[in-house]
Amino acid sequence: MLEHTSTQTVLVVDDRLENLQFLEQLLQSMPIRLQQAKSGDIALRMMLETIPAVVILDADLPTMDGYQVINAMQANSLLQHIPVLLMTAHLAGQKQNLHHSLLYVVDCLSKPIDPEVFLAKLKTYLIIDHYRDLIRNVSSSNGELLETMEEGILGIDADGRIRFANFSAARLLRMPVTHLVTLYVESLFSEPCRFIQSRWSQHPITRACEKNTLLQIERANLWCADGTSITAKFAVLPAGGLLDIRWILAFRELKKSKEKESAVAHLARVDHLTQLPTRLRFTESVDQAITQAKKHNKKSAVLHVNLDHFRNINESLGYEMGDQLLQSVAKRLRDRFRKEDPIARLDGDEFAILLSEIQHPAFAGIAASKVLESLKSPFLFNGHELFVSASIGIAIYPTCGHDVLSLLKNADIAAERAKLLGRNGYQYFTAEMNKMTVERMMLLQDLHHAIDKGQLSISVTSVVELQKKNPIARQTHLGWNHPKRGLLPFSEFARDAEDAGLLTEISRWMMVESLGRLSTKQQPNEKIVLTLHPNYLTSPDFLSFLHQQLTQFNLSPEQLIIELCETVSLNRQQDCRPLLHDLNQIGIQLAIADFGRGYSSFELIRQLPIQILKLSSSWLSDIQSSEKDQILLRHLVSMANELGLTLWLEGIDEIQQLEIISTLGVQWGSGKIF
């Protein structure tokens, strides 16, 4: 076994001097040992000598091109695990040159490369290589396991997040290593879904391993990225104190009998819940439709149907009710369309409909309207009356894509656009929408560097007790000073932060900055208002981190108000409620923002320990001329007083507005006038 030094080696393979110089300059600040090779055969010899952590490989090499180098690496057991960053000017053709299984170890980058994307990928692979060394050093047997083609190896931390995956794990589970190391391991044992947070601490495997003993399971299903599953035998053993890796999971796919293979093939093609075709079978149908449409010079359409707010039903009424609803939706869709129009359940609450041959794109819009019409009538389950709508995206062949993947992707993008425009409607995919998607990807990339580059900022506004005209609190607002788009409020990038896995890091930064700044400027009896994303509240270490910061800045819990968005706190009620009661018990006050705009505002007051009701500035738009608005506001004040709650109205910008709401009895106010 070759020994690895503490400094990681990165091998750059390129025959052009200017490319080598560019990469050398780009990587000069990284703590790595950089090696260079100008041909494939020299690179292979150097790999055997040093076993690099990553190979940066140009596809267009003379004599032995990049694809031949990759094939030679895969033929050698010492080299087949090494990740490759393949730089190519012909990204669209890379799948034709790479065997399917190699897509899990080869990461293709389009020329000219984006330095930020390139460095982010490289850093990820260096971290994975670091964990590889740690796992190898636990015992002498691990080195052989890591390199075998049959055994998948995963390194798991105490929270259940996968920190390391070898190439075989990626191949068996049909997803890239960089994707695997962002997952919770529990998701491999459950039918694909989107967890709000990890439930690993309650997982049977965790409980079985609490005594640091070896656990072996002879047969289990592991879910793959494409929605299929493999039957595997696996073992979990303690990692022996490897930094943040607590367990090592090794698994091997079991051979299937022909009968079982047939049954599995059926399950892979038919959704067990709705009995609709799965994504696999649907893509086959779309592929056939494209062939026929091309032959007869016709158009085809794919409709991506995404149910609106379906997660609310699962979380408030239970997953059994959610499953019944999906079955009923599937039945309504089948009843509305012809047998020759395939309908599939793609994933969760997502369905797809194929219109094989249509004369005009407008016919797809008519079909989408039929879907929306079919969902209008309420669904009745065990005394519950459920109303469901959908956001539908439409992609037309050939204008929106010439292959299956393009049509499905673009229909999905169009459905997201329909959501942004208010839901319960449909949108066609357009080039402009594709541009928006690319812009969002670039925004996500920029967000990864926002903290390091000092682009996040905190602004402070005053909250005033209106009757006494005294400041009662200071509220912090998080913003992102984007270099091209200017100042973005947190509400405009909160979802992106969550999708990028940066929500916790950004929320922590905001909390530290806010408490640190306001603790030095705080007046007697003045409180601090923090606006926190509810998904951050459910993170495992939120409460301990909050206690730590209050202690550090010499603040008491009674000095803090945490503001929550009304509708989101309702959606997370099952998860947030115990925590909100805990926060209330230690003296922290809770405020509900935009009170009255959601559909269960009074239910929140009844079930949650809320002390402050915050009304949005929309109440002020007609307050001077609308007697109805004044009457409603007067009654809200009366209700708040009787319940012992504080009513807070934001967005007060004019003297006349201030005079009216003060007369009506609103206790707190904030806005430009202060």
Comparing C-alpha atoms, which of 4, 83, 78 is closest to residue 45?
A: 78
Q: What is the pLDDT of residues 511-529, one digit of tens each?
A: 999 998 888 776 777 899 9
Is position 14 within any domain?
A: yes
Same domain, 98 and 144: no
For 566-640, where are the E strands, in sequence order?
589-593, 612-615
Two structure tokens written together for 481: 């000073």
How far is it, in rounded angstroms, from Cα 328 to Cα 415?
A: 21
- How would residue 600 be classed by pLDDT, with cut points 50, 70 and 90? very low
Is position 55 within any domain?
A: yes
SS3 of 168-190: the string is HHHHHHCCCHHHHCCCEHHHHCC
Which residues constitute the domain of residue 296?
273-429
| Count, residues in the chain | 674
- How would residue 478 be classed by pLDDT, with cut points 50, 70 and 90? very high
Contact partners, residue 372, CB within 8 Å, separation at least 6: 389, 390, 392, 424, 425, 426
Is position 247 within any domain?
A: yes
How far is it, in rounded angstroms, from Cα 629 to Cα 622?
A: 7
Quick check: 498 pLDDT over 90?
no
Same domain, 179 and 279: no
SS3 146: helix
CA distances from 100 to 81, 174, 495 (A): 16, 10, 33
- How would residue 153 be classed by pLDDT, with cut points 50, 70 and 90? confident
Number of domains in the chain: 4
How far is it, in rounded angstroms, from Cα 504 to Cα 494?
A: 11
Cβ–Cβ under 8 Å, residues 611 and 646: yes
Q: What is the pLDDT of residues 154-210, one digit of tens each?
A: 888 888 888 888 888 888 888 888 888 878 888 887 654 444 455 666 666 776 666
Average pLDDT, the chain: 82
Same domain, 595 and 498: yes
Label residue 216 exposed, middle or buried (CB < 10 Å: 0-12, 13-18, 19+): exposed
Same domain, 588 and 488: yes
Same domain, 525 and 659: yes
CA distances from 315 to 274, 381, 575 (A): 20, 16, 9
Q: What is the CATH number of the domain that holds 192?
A: 3.30.450.20
Comparing C-alpha atoms, which of 49, 89, 33 is closest to residue 66?
A: 89
Task: For residue 61, count other CB atoms closer than 10 A to its CB.
Answer: 22
Q: What is the pLDDT of residues 264-315, one digit of tens each?
A: 455 557 887 888 998 888 998 999 999 888 888 889 999 999 999 888 787 7
Is position 336 within any domain?
A: yes
The reported pTM is 0.46
CA distances from 102 to 70, 80, 482, 632, 637 (A): 9, 10, 37, 64, 65
SS3 280: helix
User: Token match 């020329």: residue?
Assistant: 111
Same domain, 492 and 639: yes
Is position 437 within any domain?
A: no
Tell me which of 83, 100, 116 is where a domain ends. Answer: 116
SS3 353: strand
Is position 27 within any domain?
A: yes
Task: For residue 205, count other CB atoms closer than 10 A to its CB.
Answer: 19
